[in-house]
């Protein structure tokens, strides 16, 4: 059978399955919803007083880890969830299709340290990618580390790697069951064996090499039994010298007067400077620096201030000719690149190299004798070369609307990059730095043809006459003369940009006549800092209004109807889904909030939640802020006897970023109040966290459950 015939077969099979699903979908949906008996959830009498307003919190007990009552409730909820999912006719065929689509070789762009090229590969369905090096691009591969051997089920994941300047030592961190806590280990590539080095209780850390050791950030060990919920405070930076035990590490930096400030360290390419970034939240950094010398006493470094406040994002991207090159949004909401003399680093003396323009300057990376800048233009990347004086030297021509990931090094003429888009699997290119010309280095061989799908970048209008892009992806042969099952995805927060990305698990959904839409929302980083601020604190409702406007755009233009439209988002995007479904329940047929921030009155009391206050505000800072949060907090805006969309709340038991109590309290509240016309279920994954490092097997299982649930409740009636 030819590859074209195979594709036709898969599409035909998908269409037949969809037709079968449609025939009895309404009847099946009604029958299954009638049978749902939600588990009993204990209610307590907890009442909190906020500025004279009494707020009930009957499921407060769910915030305590691993109690017998909570374990019993979780088990009962998962049994109910899978009893419903198991009866969805499409689920098993979807599992096979997703596995087939996921099963292709994947490879990262190579990057050079010393005389070695480092890269990772995944044969297709391996839970974690395997790490290799070569001594030349056409040389023999040498295995460094197979993370799949770290645990039997793939739940110990490789989190980050950092290679010493000479390319000999390979430091890596691991995460267990998706936790944010990290263990750090080192491999000597000359022997291929682990050294004796082992770092514990690292978190939100860089691994920054300096000579025969590295800087890293850690907290004190949390109280036993509270590893996943205890508040994280007093982060410190240490230096670890190879061969020594962790208790001998040198304390390099701490701030005892400000327990809620995080700190990370970074070293320039030539290992002459240590930069420390202090954060009070997810936005803004105070930047310090100190000179590194061979005989430096690391516990007595002389710190100078590069940027004094927390009201701007500022990062050192290169050091050249005794000047620091900073990417910053200080007095430049869409960012600029400046040069700074460390002898006189005050902001008044900064000099523009790449001035702010009307397009977001997303990143700047040194390569060879120049810089490569990535600009984000209407949520898609554009790459330009500059010299260190800011003269433009050309650009990289990209295949289509998409995203690049750079692999470059100061002083090296070799530049590799990956390119990906909604229908374009990650592909590796090699670029001639002098001419900007690219050649294909490595391309994945997939069971599907990316050319069978199309992505449009359209524009919707929201409140305040704001216009923003919306990306819409579907099969090229899909007739658009009627509404289809449509997923609207969004995030809208923390200055994070939603750019084109590829997921093989999305392909079967598109083959089942699905449409996938991503809306660009205020609160993100797509148009600079003002765009971000317009979706924060007392303006957070703008984000929900944008999402609702994008949904109405899809309905108005015939892509979807309120009987075929689903909404999905994770973390801050889970908040987005929760707030939107409680504000406009009639607009959607299905909703899937994943690992969402859903209790806006108490989010700041767990792990790193306090750092989100610059985006959200807190219920304790003022009466006005409390009232604003209460007005949209998903948990507190569930009303009795409302027909909410068919809802599957998704969370993980080891999520120590957004603790699972958010999702559990929200699901219990929905179940206690929603009408019985549509189901409310919660899927609680075991041995998984907020999302990073999730093994392939769990990614596929999660996708199967989410897409089959959405298709079941959004497939249009025939």
Q: Annotated active-site positions, please?
A: 571, 690
- Residue in 506, 503, 455, 412 with CA at minimum distance from that of residue 167: 412
For residues 292-310, one letter each, b for 16 or more C-beta atoms within 10 angstroms of the residue's C-beta and e for the rest, the string is beeebebeebeeeebbeeb
Residues 6+ apart with CB under 8 A from 263: 217, 235, 236, 237, 253, 254, 255, 276, 277, 278, 279
Angle of helix 3-35 relative to helix 696-714, nearest 10 degrees, comes to: 70
Number of other CB atoms surrounding residue 195 within 10 Å:
15
Q: How many C-beta atoms lie closer than 10 Å to residue 365's C-beta?
A: 18
Q: What is the C-alpha separation between 123 and 141, in angstroms, rounded?
A: 14
Strand partners, 438: 431
Q: Is the CB of residue 456 less than 8 Å from the CB of residue 472? A: yes
Sign of CA dihedral 226, 230, 232, 233: negative
Residue 158, beta-bridge partner list: 174
Q: String of b and e for 597-633 (b: at least 16 CB within 10 Å)?
A: bbbbbbbbbbbbbbbbbbbbbbbeeeeebbebbbebb
Residue 550 CA from chain centroid, whole number: 21
Strand order in the sheet with 304-307: 262-267, 273-279, 286-291, 304-307
Classify 553 as helix, strand or coil: helix
Residues 6 or more apart in contact with residue 467 via CB below 8 angstroms: 459, 460, 461
Residues pairing with 54 in the sheet = 49
What is the C-alpha separation between 103 and 568, in angstroms, rounded? Answer: 25
SS3 119: strand
Q: Alpha-carbon distance 599 to 55, whole Å?
A: 12
Give the 3-state secondary structure of residue 486: strand
Distance of CA 502 to the CA centre of its chain: 13
**Beta-strand (E) ranges in 346-500?**
351-354, 360-367, 370-377, 380-386, 392-396, 403-407, 414-421, 424-432, 438-442, 453-461, 467-475, 486-489
309: nearest Cα among 339, 331, 294: 331
CA angle 598, 496, 506 (to 5 degrees): 80
- At 223 the three-state DSSP class reads coil
Tell me which residue of 172, 269, 179 sits closest to 216, measured CA to CA. Answer: 172
At residue 600, the 3 state secondary structure works out as: coil
């Amino acid at each position: 059978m030819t590859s074209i015939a195979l594709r036709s077969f898969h599409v035909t099979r998908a269409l037949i399955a969809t037709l079968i699903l449609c025939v009895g979908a309404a009847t099946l949906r009604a029958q299954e919803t009638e049978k749902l008996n939600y588990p009993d959830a204990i209610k307590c009498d907890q009442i909190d007083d906020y500025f004279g307003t009494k707020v009930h919190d009957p499921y407060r007990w769910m915030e305590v880890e691993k109690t017998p009552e909570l374990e019993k409730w979780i088990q009962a909820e998962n049994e109910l969830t899978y009893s419903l999912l198991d009866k969805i006719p499409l689920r098993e065929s979807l599992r096979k299709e997703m596995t087939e689509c996921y099963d292709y070789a994947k490879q990262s762009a190579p990057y050079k340290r010393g005389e070695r090229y480092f890269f990772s590969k995944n044969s297709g369905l391996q839970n974690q990618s395997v790490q290799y090096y070569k001594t030349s691009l056409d040389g023999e591969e040498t295995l460094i580390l197979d993370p799949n051997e770290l645990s039997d089920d793939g739940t110990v994941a490789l989190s980050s790697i950092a290679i010493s300047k000479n390319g000999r030592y390979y430091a890596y961190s691991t995460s267990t069951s998706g936790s944010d806590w990290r263990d750090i280990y080192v491999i000597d590539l000359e022997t291929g064996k682990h050294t004796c080095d082992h770092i514990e209780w690292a978190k939100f850390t860089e691994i920054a090499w300096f000579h025969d050791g590295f800087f890293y950030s850690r907290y004190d060990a949390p109280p036993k039994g509270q590893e996943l919920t205890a508040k994280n405070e007093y982060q410190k930076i240490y230096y670890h010298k190879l061969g020594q035990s962790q208790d001998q590490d040198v304390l390099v930096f701490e701030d005892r007067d400000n327990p809620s400030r995080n700190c990370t360290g970074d070293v320039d390419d030539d290992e002459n400077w240590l930069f420390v970034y202090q954060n009070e939240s997810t936005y803004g950094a105070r930047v310090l620096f100190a000179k590194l010398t061979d005989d430096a006493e690391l516990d007595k470094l002389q710190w100078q201030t590069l940027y004094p406040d927390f009201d701007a994002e500022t990062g050192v991207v290169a050091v050249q000719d005794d000047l620091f090159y900073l990417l910053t949004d200080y007095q430049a909401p869409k960012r600029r690149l400046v040069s700074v003399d460390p002898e006189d680093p005050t902001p008044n003396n900064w000099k523009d190299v790449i001035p702010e323009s009307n397009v977001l300057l997303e990143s700047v990376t040194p390569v060879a004798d120049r810089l490569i800048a990535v600009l984000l233009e209407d949520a898609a990347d554009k790459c330009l070369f500059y010299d260190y004086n800011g003269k433009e030297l050309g650009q990289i021509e990209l295949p289509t609307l998409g995203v690049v990931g750079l692999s470059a090094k100061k002083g090296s003429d070799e530049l590799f990059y990956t390119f990906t888009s909604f229908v374009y699997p990650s592909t590796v290119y090699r670029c001639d730095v002098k001419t900007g010309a690219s050649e294909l280095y490595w391309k994945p061989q997939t069971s599907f043809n990316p050319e069978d799908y199309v992505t449009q970048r359209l524009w919707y209008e929201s409140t305040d006459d704001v216009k923003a892009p919306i990306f819409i992806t579907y099969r090229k042969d899909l007739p658009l003369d009627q509404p289809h099952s449509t997923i609207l995805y969004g995030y809208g927060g923390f200055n994070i940009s939603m750019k084109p990305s590829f997921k093989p698990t999305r392909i079967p959904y598109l083959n089942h006549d699905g449409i996938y839409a991503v809306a660009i929302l205020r609160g993100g980083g797509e148009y600079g800092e003002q765009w971000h601020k317009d979706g924060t604190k007392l303006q957070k409702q703008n984000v929900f209004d944008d999402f609702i406007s994008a949904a109405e755009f899809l309905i108005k233009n015939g892509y979807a109807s309120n009987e075929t439209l689903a909404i999905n988002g994770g973390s801050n995007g889970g908040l987005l889904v929760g707030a939107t479904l409680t504000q406009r329940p009639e607009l959607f047929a299905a909703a899937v909030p994943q690992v969402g921030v859903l209790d806006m009155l108490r989010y700041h009391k767990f792990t790193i939640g306090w750092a989100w206050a610059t985006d959200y505000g807190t219920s304790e800072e003022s009466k006005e802020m409390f009232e604003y949060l209460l007005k949209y907090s998903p948990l507190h805006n569930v009303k009795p006897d409302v027909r909410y969309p068919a809802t599957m709340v998704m969370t993980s038991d080891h999520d120590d970023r957004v603790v699972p109590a958010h999702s559990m309290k929200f699901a219990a509240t929905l179940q206690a109040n929603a009408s019985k016309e549509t189901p409310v279920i919660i899927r609680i994954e075991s041995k998984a966290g907020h999302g990073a490092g999730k093994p392939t097997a769990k990614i596929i299982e999660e996708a199967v459950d989410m897409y089959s649930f959405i298709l079941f409740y959004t497939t249009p009636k025939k």
